[in-house]
Structure 1
Amino acid sequence: MKKILRDSLFLAIFLFFPLRVFALDYVVFNEGVLSPKVVQEINLIGKELEEKSQIFAGVAIGDNMDFETLFNMQKTLPKSYILLILSKKSHRVDIVGSKGVLNLIDKEAILSPYPGTGSILPILATQKGDIYNAAILNGYADIVDRITQARGITLNSSIGNTNRDTINILRILIYGFVCFALLYYTQRRMKRKRNG
């Protein structure tokens, strides 16, 4: 009798609670594109984000799966969600989500093709190294960082924008050096004209 009661309780829990409570998988679909290390990192960040904000941030990436099939996976997600979708077959990447969550991020900036702004397409355009793992992890981290900034929370597992910050600092230093060199050159020429 106890065994039947225990099995019935387990079956009830399994049927009435979402499967992802047990799985905690924020990579909704991965057709062998993302490495286990990247999947683990996304799951770690996604779990902490959902615990602190009640927002599900997921990734769906397919090798041979078309974009429309990946797009339809959002129907199975919780009420507050955001999903980064990439289809290698369709050559398409997009960010979809519930209206309230999409308003927390600047989708156009994240998907911008310009290196100073975008965090996904510039990496995909390089064609060097493991571009899909780098682009998805970088884009996912950018999405999560924008959500946490909008909500005023901090994550212990956040990757942050260290790469972007480093590039911006180097860019400022280079532009500063070029401006200083031009100013110095102009000043020297003016001084020679006065003396000559």
Structure 2
Amino acid sequence: MRKILQDGFFKTIFLFFIIPLKVFALDSVVFNENILSQKVVNEINLIGKELQEKTGIFIGVAIGDQVDFETLLDIQKKMPKSYILLVLSKKSHKVDIVGSKGSLILIDKEAVLSPYSGTGSILPILATKKGDIYNAAILNGYADIADRIAQARGIKLENSIGNANRDTINILRILIYGFICFALLYYAQRRMKRKKNVSN
């Protein structure tokens, strides 16, 4: 009972004091519980500001260490009319992308959150468990969302970092598939040649 009361009190403080201060500042990183580095926060804010100026769509990030996922979702109540919010809670082991309908249709949410390398831009990095995975995953995912919106609206972002991981993996995949196809064709050609020689 005491724990429930403490959690309820913390959530109330979180909603009425912490969230409004962060969101009203209009920074793209609306909540950061000592996870993202200042360098990554600055990069995200730069991309988010340009995208909002050019499209009117706000993309926010809410990332918590001890704050649970459901509490982070309450930040949506303070969002602008057109928004997308990337939410990650270490405590709940959960990540998701939420937002207004008009904004969400501009991105392929399932692709961004795909666990497969070369498709997803967040979960494959988190799954590696090597290095500073949260900074890398959030920045990569945020940039991916921004690029998808920019492409859907037909604009170019000067501050876009692109999705280097996905592009590199896609290039490697093409090279590998190309090599496999070449090897199969070569094998088939050799086999046909051998049959022809035997029949003669």
Which TM bucket (shorter chain)? 0.7 to 0.9
Tell me which amino acid in the other structure corresponds to 2:149: I
Paired residue for 2:153, among 127, 151, 154? 151
Aligned to 2:99: 97
Is the Cα–Cα contact under 8 Å of residues 82 and 96 in structure 1 kept in the other structure? yes
8 A Cα contact 1:120 1:138, kept in partner: yes
Q: Does 1:178 align with 2:188?
A: no
Secondary structure of the 1:189 match is helix
Q: Find the aligned partners of 2:154 and 2:171 in 1 and give their Cα distance.
A: 25
1:31 and 1:70 map into 2 onto residues whose CA distance is: 11
Q: Could you give the per-residue CA deviations for residues 159-182 of structure 1, whole angstroms, max 9, x where no partner exists?
A: 113331221111111111121112
Instruction: Give the 5 Å matches for 1:8-87.
Output: 23-87=25-89
The amino acid across from 2:142 in the alignment is Y
Amino acid paired to 1:119: S
Q: Which runs of 5+ in 2 are unaligned?
A: 1-19
Give the CA deviation at 1:116.
2.8
Aligned partner of 2:115 in structure 1 is: 113
Distance in 1, Cα, partners of 2:191 & 2:60: 59
**Separation in 2, partners of 1:66, 1:163:** 29
Equivalent residue of 1:194, what SS?
A: helix
| Cα distance between partner residues in 2 of 1:151 and 1:159 | 18
Partner in structure 2 of residue 129 of structure 1:
131
Contact 1:110/1:120 (<8 A) preserved: yes
Distance in 2 between the 1:32 and 1:189 partners? 62
Of 125-134 and 53-62, deviating more is: 125-134
Aligned residue for 1:3? none
- Per-residue CA deviation, residues 6-46 of structure 1 (Å, 9 max, x unaligned), is xxxxxxxxxxxx97798441100000111111101000000
Unaligned runs of 5+ residues in structure 1 are 1-17
What is the CA–CA distance in structure 2 between the aligned matches of 1:32 and 1:175, rounded to whole Å? 42
| Paired letter, 1:162 | A
Does the 8 Å CA contact 1:24/1:43 hold for their aligned counterparts? no
SS at match of 1:86: strand
Amino acid at match of 1:41: E
Q: In 2, Cα distance between the equivalents of 1:106 and 1:189?
A: 44
TM-score, length of structure 1 as denominator length: 0.85
Q: Indicate conservation of the 8 Å contact 2:126/2:133, yes or no.
A: yes
- Percentage of identical aligned residues: 81
**Equivalent position SS for 1:61:** strand
Aligned-partner Cα distance in 2 for 1:150–1:162: 19
Conservation of the 8 A alpha-carbon contact between 1:111 and 1:118? yes
